[in-house]
Structure 1
Amino acid sequence: MRLIYTQHISFFSSVSCGKLETTKLATVMSGIKARKWLNKKPFQGLPKRDDFEIVEEELPAMKDGEFIAEAQFLTVDPYLRITALGIVVPGKLMPGSQVAKVIQSKSKDYSVGDVVLGEFGWSSHSISDGSKVFKLDSSSPIPHSTALGVLGMPGATAYFGLRDICQPTKEGQTFLVNAAAGAVGSIIGQLAKLKGMKVIGFAGSDEKIEYLKSLGFDVAYNYKTIPSLEAAIKESCPNGVDVFFDNVGGKFLETVIPQMSPTGRVAICGSISQYNNESETKSDFNILGYIQMKQLKVQAFLGWNFMDEWPVAFKEMGQMIQDGKLKYRETVFEGFDSMCDAFVSLFSSNNIGKVVVKV
């Protein structure tokens, strides 16, 4: 079953402590079975349910220093579709982050009831020694699910993408972002606006356009209904695009590059239009010629590159959320069995904000 809901900063809710009450933990101290999503075969085109299988495995006994975590929220991310990256391996657990609750522990650092963020993959239960695991603040008024979105990797990608890659230099510069209603685009658009930039966003539905306007975007277009992408860019950026944050790639990138301002900056965050494209057709667009003649700075990057600084970003962004300066939305799928549906939905135009699965 699928449930879509949105969360804004004026509607904080406490996070569920999971299916197991603390007082009942003594009855489940052994024999825990984990359900896991495995990739069964390489993706071809849009991912399908047949590309996955769910298996059930009994967890081994914990060793000293380990704990068992039960998933509460799991993330699905577009980059998992890029087979060439070798991140997704047939026969292996689908990777990814999750917010989980510690239900058993033989670790001095993690107690039963702690809520953590970890790279546990698409698994209902996991054993961990604490490596690459972060405790979440249970006293925070911001829901723990945000650790997978605005206060997680997507939020960090937006924060450092603007600060280090886009590098706004003065107020009034034009900032164009596509997939603007997504987990990264909706956040970086707001951050650019707070820097005094003129923000133009493109998204794929009228509902998303209304959402972008509510976030303070100066101009927002539904790329599916406008007569011409090129004309829309010229209309909103008559003096050229100073900064372009690209999540889409393909023809969109080819349309924007000729309309960049001299010495403009292009941040390559993703190319979701190409992830399911099996065609080997090559474009004859001379992108390098435009980059050279316009002296553009084009840089691809990953939010993971800035992990050492994530706490600084999240502290600042968390305060922005509580102050009402930064808003976010989530599209939530209900139930562990909905992981595949949630993943496939990333490549449609139906989701707003971060897609997460609530177990």
Structure 2
Amino acid sequence: MRDASVQSYSPAFALGQAITGLGIGKVLKSEKEGINAGEYISLPLIEWAEYTTPPVEILPYREKIVPEKGVPLSVYLGALGMPGRTAYHAWKEFAHAKQGETAFVTTAAVKRKKFTLFFHLAGAVGLFVVQLAKMQGLKIIASVRSSDKAKLAPSVGADVVFNYKETSREQMDDILKKEGGVDIYWDNIGGSTLDVALGNANSHARFIKCGMISGYNNKNAIPDSDKRRRRDYLYPKYNSEFNEIVPKWVLEGNMKYTEDQTQGLEFGGGALLELQIGKNTGKKVVVVVEE
């Protein structure tokens, strides 16, 4: 939601046209080699519509989805989709985690529901990172956006949890000092939280910048124009490993995932608003069709 003249890693929404975003759809008809009717594919910029013909320029970014038995299709927009890959690829590349270190992860929470066929609004990247860090024996400090989420975060491994909307800068500083500083900081917020984390960084700390939600509604925010380049660099390096390992974690219950459902495309605008004001608990998706 910005002026189209402002460049960023994804195109601006156009007034009077359908919103686009990450989604999964079923192919009804195809004249494109390698894409067959009856298949499920995910696309990064699919229209929010019941039926659509995707532009040819986004087809190279498609992902064929063959759901594992027992895994809802929706998970392929979350833990087994872009959010999970974002967390796994970047953690593997940059975290260099050592047992006993302290990781500070922003916006981590969990709520679980089941449904299918939808558009993705917000990922559960922070949740995935918390679980990766716990698997490697780290102490985890997690910040969340509401008291409800603060109650849920410990269930996936967070050792210290606070609501950053109800925590002053000074209180946040005290928490990080008390826990011995930060060795790895996964940033989904930016703003003052990033500043406090920098002030409590231990020697050789690693800061992984994934998002800056504190500036998403700020007209003066600087767009992150290099995010797509970083993702394209990491994707081929770790994707085969991800596909081999992470679906097993989900099936075995070792990787929990979040979903927050809005039923019906006609309520998509309200779902987007809920996301912007932080009313969602977990990954927000819009269900278009149930199969």
Q: Which band: TM-score by shorter chain? A: 0.7 to 0.9
Structure 1: which amino acid aligns with 2:12?
A: V
Q: Mark the structure with the bigger radius of gyration.
A: 1
Match for residue 305 of structure 1? Answer: 233
Match for residue 172 of structure 2? Answer: 229
Structure with greater helix percent: 2
Distance 1:126 1:204, change over 3 A: same
Moved over 6 A (4+): none
Structure 2: which amino acid aligns with 1:146?
A: V
CA RMSD of aligned residues (A): 2.7
Aligned residues: 261
Asked whether 1:276 is paired with 2:201, we answer no
Structure 2: which amino acid aligns with 1:175?
A: A
Question: Which blocks of at least 5 consecutive residues in structure 2 are unaligned?
Answer: 110-122
Following the alignment from structure 1 to structure 2, what is the Cα–Cα distance between the partners of residues 267 and 223?
A: 19
Identity %: 29
Deviations along 1:246-269, one digit per CA (max 9) or x if unpaired, are 110011111111110011111111
Structure 1: which amino acid aligns with 2:173?
A: E
Matched-pair contact (CA < 8 Å) for 2:103–2:139: yes
Match for residue 71 of structure 2? Answer: 142
Asked whether 1:252 is paired with 2:196, we answer no
SS at match of 2:142: strand
Answer with 190-199 or 90-99: which moved more.
90-99
Match for residue 172 of structure 1? Answer: 100
Asked whether 1:328 is paired with 2:257, we answer yes
Following the alignment from structure 1 to structure 2, what is the Cα–Cα distance between the partners of residues 93 and 121?
A: 6
Alpha-carbon distance, 1:100 to partner:
0.6
- What is the TM-score normalised by the length of structure 2? 0.80
- What is the TM-score normalised by the length of structure 1? 0.66
Following the alignment from structure 1 to structure 2, what is the Cα–Cα distance between the partners of residues 83 and 314?
A: 35
Deviations along 1:298-353, one digit per CA (max 9) or x if unpaired, are x9884443222324213311111112211011011111122222222222232222
Match of 1:340 among 269, 272, 278: 269
Following the alignment from structure 2 to structure 1, what is the Cα–Cα distance between the partners of residues 191 and 128?
A: 22
Alpha-carbon distance, 1:203 to partner:
0.3
Match for residue 122 of structure 1? Answer: 48
Matched-pair contact (CA < 8 Å) for 2:79–2:128: yes
Alpha-carbon distance, 1:230 to partner:
1.1
Matched-pair contact (CA < 8 Å) for 1:87–1:95: no
Alpha-carbon distance, 1:138 to partner:
4.2
Match for residue 94 of structure 1? Answer: 19
Alpha-carbon distance, 1:97 to partner:
1.9
Structure 2: which amino acid aligns with 1:230?
A: D
SS at match of 1:100: strand
Alpha-carbon distance, 1:112 to partner:
3.2
Following the alignment from structure 2 to structure 1, what is the Cα–Cα distance between the partners of residues 284 and 201?
A: 31
Question: Which blocks of at least 5 consecutive residues in structure 1 are unaligned?
Answer: 1-38, 44-81, 281-298
Matched-pair contact (CA < 8 Å) for 1:189–1:217: yes
Distance 1:157 1:340, change over 3 A: same
SS at match of 1:112: coil
SS at match of 1:344: helix
Distance 1:230 1:139, change over 3 A: closer
Structure 1: which amino acid aligns with 2:50?
A: S
Alpha-carbon distance, 1:106 to partner:
4.1
Alpha-carbon distance, 1:205 to partner:
1.4
Deviations along 1:105-146, one digit per CA (max 9) or x if unpaired, are 445644432222123232322235653322211453211111
SS at match of 1:125: coil
